[in-house]
Amino acid sequence: MTTQAHHGAGPGTEGIGGAVSGEAPDTTRPETSYDAHFEVWRGDVDGGGLEDFTVEVNEGEVVLDIIHRLQATQAPDLAVRWNCKAGKCGSCSAEINGRPRLLCMTRMSVFDRDEIVTVTPLRAFPVVRDLVTDVGFNYEKARQVPAFVPPPDLGPGEYRMQQEDVGRSQEFRKCIECFLCQDTCHVVRDHEENKAAFAGPRFLMRVAELDMHPLDAAEEAGHDRKTAAQDDHGLGYCNITKCCTEVCPENIKITDNALIPLKERAADRKYDPLVWLGNKIRRRTT
């Protein structure tokens, strides 16, 4: 899966785990610190490669802690994007052993102590430097989704909605925009040519969120979100393999709760002649 799949035992890979005590390492130092072997992609738009590091790991730490330790002790100019370090902002997205993940929510305890931990930048986006990629694609796509349309007859403070009706869209608004789903989606992961026509799971989910908003008045204003999902945002490219759902750190059921229902609604639109006619008439009168 990863572009740098063959990270064989480099120099000094063996025996690193016991570097401090010098005795049978994994049995005499339970739950304290150990030295891990990291391979971190370093480079920029002109190219780069994996760099080997041996680095201390302590109990309870996450991969981002280790990257920070590298910055503080071995590679002060190692570029990484991060912010909250609590899984809330979605900045520190990268690929760990080839899997898209948040650096701050990946515990070191999920790896064996002698396992090589490989950290590479998100593959679907152009590298800026080291672990930092240009995620501008996502901001472009965000702009292409027409905004919430407030109901014209309700003023501020007059909105009334039931919890069960806002719950569906609220699930999608848990999204922290880490763009891991955008990175993993096979429609664009290895197909740069699809990027123009395809908004990606995150922004198709945004369309679904607005479409399911109890008070969104887009339709009354002449904009059909269901048809737009299909025609403008490339919903048809999605063949529901659920890769996006698998990597979502917020556990949002992107495919089941957003994309599939949106597909069903879009299909209803397309094939229901009454809906089609109704739309035409309404659009004409507004």
Partner 1 sequence: MAHVERQQWDVVIVGAGGAGLRAAIEAREQGLRTAVICKSLFGKAHTVMAEGGIAASMGNVNEGDNWQVHFRDTMRGGKFLNQWRMAELHAREAPERVWELETWGALFDRTPDGRISQRNFGGHEYPRLAHVGDRTGLELIRTLQQKVVSLQQEDFKESGDYEARIKVFQECTVTQILKEPGSEGEDRVSGVFCYERESGRFFVIEAPAVVLATGGIGKSFKVTSNSWEYTGDGHALALLAGASLINMEFVQFHPTGMVWPPSVKGILVTESVRGDGGVLRNSEGKRFMFDYVPDVFKEKYAESEQEADGWYEDPDNNRRPPELLPRDEVARAINAEVKAGRGSPHGGVFLDVSTRMSAETIKRRLPSMHHQFRELADVDITAEPMEVGPTCHYVMGGVDVDSDTAAARGVPGLFAAGEVAGGMHGSNRLGGNSLSDLLVFGRRAGLYAAEYARGCARERPRVADEQIDTAAAEALRPFGVGPAPADEETAGEAAEESAENPYAVHQDLQRAMNDLVGIIRREEEMSEALDRLAELRERARRAKVEGHRQFNPGWHLALDLRNMLLVSECVARAALNRTESRGGHTRDDHPEMDREWRRANLVCTLAAEGASGAEAETGRAGRIALRRREMPPIRKDLLELFEKEELIKYLTDEELTSE
Burial (CB < 10 A; 0-12, 13-18, 19+), residue 45, is exposed
Rg (CA), the chain: 23
- The terminus-to-terminus CA distance of the chain in angstroms comes to 51
Question: In 10 A of CB 2, how many CB atoms?
Answer: 16
**90 in contact with partner 1 (CB under 8 A):** yes
Q: Which listed residue (1, 72, 196, 277) binds partner 1 by CB under 8 A?
A: 72
279 binds partner 1 (CB under 8 A): no
252 touching partner 1, by CB under 8 A: no
Tokens encoding 211: 């479409």
Looking at 4, 21, 54, 170, which residue binds partner 1 (CB under 8 A)?
Answer: 170
Residue from 5, 9, 86, 274 touching partner 1 (CB under 8 A): that is: 86
Q: Which is nearer to partner 1, 4 or 58 (CB)?
A: 58
161 binds partner 1 (CB under 8 A): yes
- Asked if residue 223 lies in contact with residue 272, where contact means CB atoms within 8 angstroms, the answer is no
* Of residues 259, 280, 146, 125, the one with CA closest to residue 204: 259
The least distance separating partner 1 from the CB of residue 280, rounded to whole angstroms, comes to 23
Query: How far apart are CB 71 and partner 1 at their closest, in Å?
Result: 6
Determine the Cα–Cα distance for residues 135 and 200; give it in Å rounded to an integer: 13
Our finding on whether 276 is near partner 1 (CB under 8 A) is no
By the 8 A CB rule, do 219 and 211 touch? no
Catalog residues that contact partner 1 under the rule CB under 8 A: 44, 58-62, 65, 71-72, 76-91, 105, 107, 128-130, 132, 135, 139, 142-143, 146-148, 150, 156-157, 159-163, 166, 169-170, 173-174, 176-177, 210, 213, 216
